[in-house]
Amino acid sequence: MASKVTLGVVVAAVSTSAVAPAATTTVSRETRHKIFAFQRIKGGLVECSSAKPGLANLLTRDIAKSLVSRDSRASLALYDRTTRTSCTYDADKHYDSASIVKPIILGALLLEKGVDLSEGEQGLAREMIVSSDNDAMYTLWENLGRKRIQKFLDKAGMKNTILDEEDFMGLTQVTARDQARLLELLTADDNSVLNAEERTYFLSLMHDVQKDQRWGTPAGAPPDAAVQVKNGWLQRSRTGRMDPWDRGDWKVNSMSAFTGRAYDYGLVVLTENNRVPEGESPQVGWDYGMDTVERVAKAIHHDLYPDRTPRVSQAVKVDR
């Protein structure tokens, strides 16, 4: 599908077989208060805007460079309140959520009960976020029920998030834009959905995510930033419900909010179609998805805060 651009709003479909050239030169325009820049890759548009001179062009170029050679599909959404910057790439495309649905369930729990949780509920919430425990997730899901979770989505303005009809929570359809909206909600001084105490509790659990699950969007972040992260990964079965193109390859998603000192930004990167070649270990597809997320994350962190982050080298593979 060709991309359509109207009044600064982009509707794009990413396709590895798109007729459009893989990448084009960054184009920018200036308004009174912001610079807007965009670059086409794989039939979609990387779009950035910023009040900081030169930043929109830099981010657009480096995001495109990070993604253009990747075989998997990807979407992203970035906001940075400090520099009044935002970036998107195919941010309204739906992806299987995998475990990044878990913050949504936590939001529904806090909306329903506040921080006055029972000891059992606190334990389940912590296991669900910090350890990404699926049994804890389904216990909370069953206790809350679909209507309460949908109520949180509605109140949070996450209009494009679709709960799975058969209640497989990892198959909830999410978008990068909606997940970034959730991060903005958690880090804003806004009590319209969750109050300050509830938001602090929420972020504390994401801050405590166990070490072996802190990959993805935190890669390359300023070392003095407080990082609140949640990742998700899922290998679809070769049988059962799936898209026609899906051959059981990996979906790898990551979302983080960065706060503390002068930091106030969030990043969501979603990927799918991370192929596992015939005869190879499934780890290959998972690693490829993580590498895609971390390439773009490192570029973004460095562009936002070049004096506090290392220079990015796309040729170097990250050891895990």
| Mean pLDDT (whole number) for 111-122 | 97
Return d(Cα 147, Cα 164) in angstroms, integer.
13
**pLDDT one-digit tens code per residue, 220-251:** 999 999 999 999 999 876 555 555 556 668 99
pLDDT of 202 higher than 60: yes
Q: Check if the beta carbon of residue 44 is closer than 8 Å to that of residue 14.
A: yes
SS3 content of the chain, % helix, strand, coil (to 5): 35, 25, 40
DSSP per residue over 20-81, as a string? S-SB---EEEE-SS-EEEEEEETTEEEEEEESSTTHHHHHHHHHHHHHTT-SSEEEEEEEET
Give SS3 for 253. strand
Q: What percent of the chain has a predicted confidence (pLDDT) above 70?
A: 83
Alpha-carbon gap, residue 64 to 46, rounded angstroms: 7
| Residue appearing with tokens 């929570």 | 169
196 to 166, 187, 203, 277: CA distances (angstroms): 34, 9, 11, 47
Q: What is the mean pLDDT of residues 198-204?
A: 98
CA distances from 8 to 4, 48, 124 (A): 10, 11, 43
Q: At 12, is the pLDDT very low, low, confident or very high (cuts 50, 70, 90)?
A: very low
- The structural domains of the chain, with segments of one domain joined by +, span 1-93+216-228+240-313
User: Whole-angstrom Cα distance, residue 51 to residue 41?
Assistant: 24
The predicted pLDDT at position 4 comes to 30
pLDDT given for residue 32 in this prediction: 61
The per-residue pLDDT for 31 is 60
Structure tokens at 42: 């794989």
Q: Cβ neighbours of residue 293 under 8 Å, at least 6 residues apart?
A: 74, 215, 216, 217, 219, 252, 253, 254, 269, 271
Q: Has residue 285 got a pLDDT over 60?
A: yes
Work out the angle between the directed axes of helices 102-113 and 146-156 (0-180°, nearest 10). Answer: 90
Answer left, alpha or beta for residue 77, where phi above 0 means left and psi between -120 and 50 means alpha: beta
Q: Residue 233, SS3?
A: strand
